[in-house]
Amino acid sequence: MAFGRCGLERALILAILVVASTVSVAPAQIRLEFPESGMKFADLAGEVGGVSWAIRELSLVGSIDVTGAGGEGSLRFEASGVSVHDADFKRAVDSVRLEGSIDFDSSTGKGAVKILVFEGEFLWDRFYADLALFPFALSGDLALDPGASPARLLRFSASEIAIAGIGQARGHGAVALDGSSVVWAGDVDVPGLDRLYGLAVSEPLGERRPRVGQTSVDGRASASIDASWSESDGYRLVGEARLRDGAVFGDGPGFQIGGLSVDLPLRLGTAALPKDRRAGSIRFDGCSVQGVDIAGTALKVGVGPNTLRIEPVVLSLLGGTATVKQFEATELVSGHPQIRMGIDVSSWDLARLARSTGLPPLAGTISGSIPQIEIGNGVMRSVGEIVAEVFGGVVRARNLRGADLRSSVPSFGFDLDFDKISLADLTRVLSFGHISGVASGDVRNLEFVSWGPVAFDAQLQSTPADGVRQILSVEAVRQLSVVGGGPSDPLSRQVLKLFDEYGYKKLGFRCSLRKDVFELDGFEVRDDRHYLVVGSTLPPRVDVVTHNRTISFSEMVSYLTWATQ
């Protein structure tokens, strides 16, 4: 019996022998013929190796010849209400309607099968498919390996699976009858990549990773694949993958890429892989990240065993460039991929960056180099700094870092240094009255969760500069007073009302945020008075004093909101 290894077939053959309407018996031969109207069976059920199956209706047409040495036959079948499930119902098909045919000859060990599935449901843990939306056809020629007794391999050739709306795969391969190995080689064509992505990625993974769920992918993918799996060595995927007319649309305006064209060698798996490195390419017409447009370009790619490298590439954005260097992703199938790269930033226009990302209006440029960024095991580390020439001075960002990148709540952080920035420019952008002068300072241990700051230590202090007056407006005094915990109208005394601005000798603060506790302190302490502003020597003199305030950060933000309205 060529294909009599599964319980279903054994049961069917037994049932056929018992109830077949036409049975011809000759010496050492039995011929079963089923009428053109079909032999009907109902409510078949059974269990094989912990897997339960049931068929509500089955109709057979054709004939089977059984001889003492084996048999041959040709059957067409239609079935409805087919269900199969494992013991805990995590993998199952249900309410499947299908039809097909099977031809076999046990003397040659060859056969052919065709199956069309029209409707039903498919479940594999979190993956679900309504087969009425994705009907599929499966066909192929089958052969048991010749010369082996008992046969150990079932070979299939000219095999094809075509899923409506998604695509098809054609190829040949073999499966070990004891289930210990599978090999397959062939071509895959997926014109409906958007539907495949929705079905296989965003739907099953969207609950766990909302950004994946809110992303859509379009285009036509194809691949030539040589794949294998075995119990002893694991899997191996070698070949070439291609994408044409590709596009990715991320969560809102967060990420978009269009005109994507990919030619990528495949070298993935846990089994032994070819050691040679193959070249590939990734091209795109344009890309947008958080509202920042990146001009299209072509990337040269090198693929080795479970590794991917990108040759240095210059990206044009924000009126300047970003040069990505030494990009390498390794251990791609380990579950803990590692990424290393470096980036040089040159002449980014801050005004364009501010406009694109919704930041307050800024002017200046950003340049710098982060020669080493490492991402792995949910952690990001970096070496180097980005320098922004902004507010008439220099702001340096360095020690870019991230943690818990694979968790629901990743965090990011960096340190900042401010060197001789113009307070006039800064207060104009922040609508914080008007303060002129030059200041320097830094922010350490700055950490963001969900794009909001959760920790930092900051300090800023004015530094005298030639030719720069140190004055602050009435509005700035008022706002500093509010932030420092003082009255909203601190300049109510008659004599002070006569002036629009006041000179100052020094200005600055220290502040920190930890566990929602915000501490604001002056830069100078005298007689238990913590000075935010020390007024000029000449009258009218205005000092702004705080009292080492420790308040909830949310309260501080509400103060700021109120003060700047």
Partner 1 sequence: MMRTLGRSVAMILFILAGCLTVNVYFPAPEVRNAAEKIVEETWGDGSPEDTDKGRTGWIDFLLPAAAYAAEPGVNIDVSSAAIRKLKAAMSERAAQLKPYLRSGGLGITNAGLLVVRELKDISLRDRAQVSRWVDAENRDRLSLYSEIARANDLGDGDVPRIQKIFAETWASKAESGWWIQSPSGDWTQR
The site for partner 1 (CB under 8 A) is made up of 85, 88-90, 92, 94, 121-123, 125-128, 130, 204, 206-208, 358-360, 404, 407-409, 411, 429-430, 448-454, 515-517, 552-557, 560-561, 564
Least spacing, CB of residue 136 vs partner 1, in Å: 17
Minimal distance in Å, beta carbon 447 to partner 1? 9
Residues in contact with 343: Cβ distance below 8 Å, sequence separation at least 6, in sequence order: 322, 323, 324, 325, 369, 370, 373
- Nearest distance in Å: CB 208, partner 1: 5
Is 61 within 8 Å of 41 (Cβ atoms)? no
* Rounded least distance, CB 286 to partner 1, Å: 26
Judged by CB, which is closer to partner 1: 309, or 401? 401
CB of 57 to partner 1, least distance (A): 20
Q: Which is nearer to partner 1, 206 or 337 (by Cβ)?
A: 206
121 vs 141, beta carbon nearer partner 1: 121
Beta bridge partners of 373: 341, 382
What is the smallest separation between the CB atom of 405 and partner 1, expressed in angstroms?
12
Q: How far apart are CA 161 and CA 263, in angstroms?
A: 24
3-state SS, one letter per residue, for 289-355: ECCEEEEEEEEEEEEECCEEEECCEEEEECCEEEEEEEEEEECCCCCCCEEEEEEEEEEEEHHHHHH
* Sequence-distant (≥ 6) Cβ neighbours of residue 83 within 8 angstroms: 53, 54, 92, 93, 94, 95, 96
CB of 213 to partner 1, least distance (A): 10
Q: Which CB, 96 or 264, lies closer to partner 1?
A: 96
H helices within 160-319, ranges in order? Answer: 193-197, 203-206, 210-213
Mutual orientation of helices 553-563 and 474-483 as an angle, nearest 10°?
A: 160
- As measured in angstroms, the least distance from the Cβ of 376 to partner 1 is 17
Structure-token pair, residue 210:
């909302």
Residue number with CB closer to partner 1 (95 or 367): 95
Q: How far is the CB of 209 from partner 1 (least distance, A)?
A: 9
Nearer to partner 1, 315 or 429 (CB): 429
Give whichever of 125 and 527 is closer to partner 1, judged by the CB atom: 125
β-strand partners of 176: 153
Minimum CB–partner distance for residue 199 and partner 1 (Å): 11
Minimum CB distance to partner 1 smaller for 102 or for 563:
563
In the bound state with partner 1, the residue whose beta carbon lies nearer, of 290 and 554, is 554
- 281 burial class (0-12, 13-18, 19+ CB within 10 angstroms)? middle
The rounded distance, in Å, linking the Cα atoms of 488 and 559 is: 10
With H, G, I as helix, E, B as strand and everything else as coil, classify residue 556: helix
Torsion on CA atoms 294, 297, 300, 301, rounded to nearest 10: 50
Nearest approach in angstroms of CB 95 to partner 1 is 9
CB of 509 to partner 1, least distance (A): 16
**Residue 214 DSSP SS3:** coil
Instruction: Identify the H or E element spanning 218.
Output: strand 216-230
Output 204 or 246, the one with its CB closest to partner 1.
204
How far is 221 from 241, CA to CA, in rounded Å?
A: 7
- Phi and psi at 354, nearest 5°, equal -65, -45
Comparison of 413 and 503: residue with beta carbon closer to partner 1: 413
Sign of the C-alpha dihedral computed for residues 439, 443, 448 and 454 taken in this order: negative
**Gap between the Cα atoms of 368 and 350, Å rounded:** 14
According to DSSP, the β-strands at 501-514 and 471-473 are antiparallel
Cβ atoms 320, 347 nearer than 8 A:
yes
Q: Which is nearer to partner 1, 118 or 127 (CB)?
A: 127
Residue where the block lists tokens 């069976």: 41
Let me know how long the chain is. 565
Residues 6+ apart with CB under 8 A from 286: 257, 258, 259, 293, 294, 295, 296
CB of 113 to partner 1, least distance (A): 25
User: In this complex, which beta carbon is closest to partner 1, that of residue 409 or of residue 498?
Assistant: 409
Provide the residue type at 293 as one letter. D
Q: How far is the CB of 228 from partner 1 (least distance, A)?
A: 29
Residue 147 or 360 with smaller CB distance to partner 1? 360
Using the 8-state DSSP alphabet, how is residue 391 labeled?
Answer: T
